[in-house]
Chains A and B, each alone.
Chain A
Amino acid sequence: MTTLDIRGLRLRLPGAARPVLDGVDLSVDASETVALVGESGSGKSLTSRTVLRLLPKGAATEGRVEVAGDDVLTMNAKQLRKLRTQTAAMVFQDPRAAINPLRRIGDFLTESARLNKLMTAAEADTRAVELLDAVGLSADLMRRYPGQLSGGMLQRVMIAAALMGDPRLLLADEPTTALDVTSQAEVVTLLADLRERFGTGLLFVTHDLGLAAAISDRVYVMYAGRIVETGPSESIFARPRHPYTRALLASTPSLDTPQGRLTAIDGQPPDLRQELHGCPFAPRCPLATEVCTTEAPQSTSAPGEPAHTAACHHADRLAREAADV
């Protein structure tokens, strides 16, 4: 059984002319690390929040979002609480905003377990201290306030809090974006270790394709609410089949080729107030032809690699160009 299985997720918001999420298919297996990559506004955070049914006001959903076999979108309040306390947990982007500054770290770590009567206060404290130790923090932080900790430490606290209910799925929503570079590396390593140790599936949401390829087994690339390319990390990184993925790679700084200039992607992601015809990336795509503006591309597999799919009319041409270089 897959830990997370999203099928045909479509999410509409009031005032938007097209679905914010448009037919998203995504899965995470037990103990697997999957990265979801895209720029701001692509819908990647919304996708991960939908897994915990943290939906914006007025959102209407279609499709299925199954966590450990149960559809999140049709759960009742009790099932939803069980999902959030014991099955899936999220690590948020900015730990400084995510933890109430007026309450102690210990309170933050244990509150969900205590208030839902999953553990006694003493048990919750013991578990919290164990997890603080697992993320490399000392037990005396329990009495401290968030304002007395650094951002990197707080993100570790956030990760420890997410592990309190021993979840099967960990959702990390840009967990390193608000941190400085050294803390970023620490948090990424920590997440990878913990995933190994606790056997949780990890969905890692990031805008950094390089980071995604480095830590994950598989990558999903998202654009304008659609998955445009997915596949094993190494093959996406080596042989991108979607021009958007290629452009993202070209705009990521790399230590291997420091001499090249970084390329920015011209233009803006499509406005939510406009309907989309054809391929959403066409207006910014150097390869776009007439078919791209009229017909939405279907996902097709790479030759010999069924797991590597891309939704692009010119996927094969792109792969040939990459091979020629």
Chain B
Amino acid sequence: MNFLRFAVRRLLEMAVTLLGASFVVFGAMYLAPGNPASFLLGGRSASPAALEAIEKQYHLDDPFIVQYWRWLGNIAHGDFGRSLEYRTDVSDLLSSRLPTTLLLVGMALVIVVALGLALGWLSAVRGGAVDSGILVGTTFAVGTPSFVAAILLQGFFAVELGWFPSSGSGSGDGLGAMLWHLTLPAIALALYLVGLLARVTRSAMLEALEGEHVTVARSRGVPERHIISRHVFRNALGAVLTTAGLIVSTLMVCTVLVESAFSVGGIGQLLELASTTKDFPTVQAICLIIIGLFMTVNLIVDLLLPLVDPRIKLGTRAAS
């Protein structure tokens, strides 16, 4: 199958899946206890007439499917509706916060990839005490929830040592300030995934090391460092790449906890606030963005896999 046709087919599939996801996201909020009208009233009692007026204003009296269709149509035009909590357009809320979150997730991703691959590589190649040390370290990393890591980092590096700010995102003070503010959150966010990726890399490289072609390369006098990079790490890359989807989705989910812990004003914190205040349009928009991001990453992985492993044909994940 050629690349372009496959990409187009996958994009169409993605659109259909997003549509299904949007239905679930929209519907789920209506299954949750409480209703937006009572939230808008802020706990005050209202006359039936006032209640009716509110329902009319927010189209809450329409049948579910009509509401869904209207919501979907608006999204197609880039309109995510108005936030019930902030009384502004959701898209404005998002556009001011999304860059912060993307920067935070991006920083965490860099840490995860750099440290995860390096530790996994070292662990597999060196063995012995290095391997044991890294295994113990990654066991702690994998066992520490990101919000616990956030509190520990905050307590030690921000409060005790004062090296980094304990909260805030530093947005508005330039990129340098943001990077400084987001360092601890990014580490907290990355910790678990560094452990995970190091372990995936280690086991994939150990498996590749067992390959007969590695012995053959040695028998031909290929220098050991080239054997590790060209035959061991290269062959482990497929397994590493397939975890990319998991890594990005975990980052997006954990950013909710970490942003709340560090009071970083990104969409993660916004999601947390919005869901506790039943700010339906905001929650729905953020959920859709996270789902879309996850699917995009998976699409990119599927397109890249045949380049990493020529035995994989486009559209399948198994080696032929």
A interface list, Cβ under 8 A from B: 49, 52, 54, 80-85, 89-90, 92, 94, 97-103, 111-112, 115-116, 145, 147, 161
Please name all residues of chain B whose beta carbon is closer than 8 Å to the beta carbon of A52 when the two chains form the complex: 219
Q: Secondary structure at chain B's binding surface: helix, strand, loop or mixed?
A: helix
B317 within 8 A of A: no
Q: Assuming the A-B contacts A54-B215, A147-B310, A147-B320, are A100 and B231 also in contact, with contact meaning beta carbons closer than 8 angstroms in the complex?
A: yes
Is B216's CB under 8 angstroms from A147's CB?
no
Is A101's CB under 8 angstroms from B311's CB?
yes
Please name all residues of chain A whose beta carbon is closer than 8 Å to the beta carbon of B234 when the two chains form the complex: 100, 102-103
Q: A52-B219, A100-B234 are in contact. List 8 more A-B contacts (CB 8 A).
A: A54-B218, A81-B223, A92-B219, A98-B212, A99-B216, A100-B213, A111-B226, A145-B311
For the complex formed, measure the closest distance between the CB of B13 and the CB atoms of chain A, giving whole angstroms: 27
Please name all residues of chain A whose beta carbon is closer than 8 Å to the beta carbon of B213 when the two chains form the complex: 97-101
Please name all residues of chain A whose beta carbon is closer than 8 Å to the beta carbon of B9 when the two chains form the complex: none
B309 within 8 A of A: yes
Is A84's CB under 8 angstroms from B211's CB?
no
Which residues 216-240 of B have a CB within 8 angstroms of A? 216-223, 226, 230-231, 234-235
B interface list, Cβ under 8 A from A: 211-213, 215-223, 226, 230-231, 234-235, 308-311, 319-320
* Cα of A92 to Cα of B235 in the assembled complex, Å: 20
Please name all residues of chain A whose beta carbon is closer than 8 Å to the beta carbon of B211 when the two chains form the complex: 97, 100
Please name all residues of chain B whose beta carbon is closer than 8 Å to the beta carbon of A84 when the two chains form the complex: 218-221
Please name all residues of chain A whose beta carbon is closer than 8 Å to the beta carbon of B223 when the two chains form the complex: 81, 115-116
18 pairs, CB–CB < 8 Å, chain A vs chain B: A80-B221, A81-B221, A81-B223, A84-B219, A84-B221, A89-B220, A90-B219, A92-B216, A99-B216, A100-B211, A100-B213, A100-B217, A100-B235, A101-B309, A111-B217, A112-B221, A115-B226, A147-B320
For the complex formed, measure the closest distance between the CB of A85 and the CB atoms of chain B, giving whole angstroms: 4
Q: Assuming the A-B contacts A54-B215, A97-B212, A147-B320, are A102 and B220 also in contact, with contact meaning beta carbons closer than 8 angstroms in the complex?
A: no
* Cα of A297 to Cα of B234 in the assembled complex, Å: 51
- Cβ 8 A contact of B212, one of A83, A92, A102, A161: A92
* Cα of A83 to Cα of B222 in the assembled complex, Å: 12
Please name all residues of chain B whose beta carbon is closer than 8 Å to the beta carbon of A100 when the two chains form the complex: 211, 213, 217, 230-231, 234-235
Q: Can you name the residue of chain B whose Cβ is closest to the Cβ of A104?
A: B310
Q: Can you name the residue of chain A whose Cβ is closest to the Cβ of B226?
A: A115
Is B212's CB under 8 angstroms from A94's CB?
yes
